[in-house]
Amino acid sequence: MRIGHGYDVHRTAPGRRLVLCGTEIECEFGLTAHSDGDVALHALTDAILGAAGLPDIGRLFPDTDEAWKDADSRDILRRAVAMVREKGFEPEYADVTIIAERPKLAPYIEKMRDAAAGAMGVDPSRVNVKATTEEKLGFTGCGEGIAAHAVCLLRE
Ligand code: MG
């Protein structure tokens, strides 16, 4: 077994689409990014890559590369999982935590889990997604950004 952790932050911006864990969320703001800004899938991708000892998402899919402009982060996750499988590892379990003061993410949890599992090519029972606030503290608490953590266990 190998374990990996991923962390990512994106700044909020009015008028952008909000996509979290491959799921479009109804909201008056979104996240600035070169890609679709899916902070949750970026954290998850980094956790998976980290567990396999591969370079991080920023090195493999650089934001200076036009190929990833407005990219669907599910495609990035799919490619990362393919690289991990190539090295002989299979995702055993992943757990994602999204930190956002707003919007309320509870109605989207199952959809987000299914979308993440779909991109990873695993059964949804192998993925968990949850959301929390930071009690109005710091950059997530005042709504300047959304953060996400993820851990992933790989089986050799
Ligand atoms: Mg990112």
Q: How far does the centroid of ligand 1 lie from the alpha carbon of residue 90, in Å?
A: 23
Q: How far does the centroid of ligand 1 lie from the alpha carbon of residue 121, in Å?
A: 21
Q: Where are the beta strands (DSSP E) in 1-156?
A: 2-14, 18-20, 23-25, 29-31, 90-99, 127-132, 145-155
Model confidence, pTM: 0.97
Q: How far does the centroid of ligand 1 lie from the alpha carbon of residue 23, in Å?
A: 15
Give the homologous superfamily in CATH for domain 2-155: 2-C-methyl-D-erythritol 2,4-cyclodiphosphate synthase (3.30.1330.50)
Q: How far does the centroid of ligand 1 lie from the alpha carbon of residue 1, in Å?
A: 26
- Residues near 75 by beta carbon (within 8 Å), at least 6 away in sequence: 119
CB-proximal residues (5 Å) to ion ligand 1: 8, 42
Q: How far does the centroid of ligand 1 lie from the alpha carbon of residue 43, in Å?
A: 7
Going residue by residue through the chain, which has 156 residues, state the pLDDT in tens, using 9 for 90 and above. 999 999 999 999 999 999 999 999 999 999 999 889 999 999 999 999 999 999 999 999 988 888 878 889 999 999 999 999 999 999 999 999 999 999 999 999 999 999 999 999 999 999 999 999 999 999 999 999 999 999 999 999
Show me where the domains of the chain are located: 2-155
Q: How far does the centroid of ligand 1 lie from the alpha carbon of residue 46, in Å?
A: 9
Q: How far does the centroid of ligand 1 lie from the alpha carbon of residue 132, in Å?
A: 19
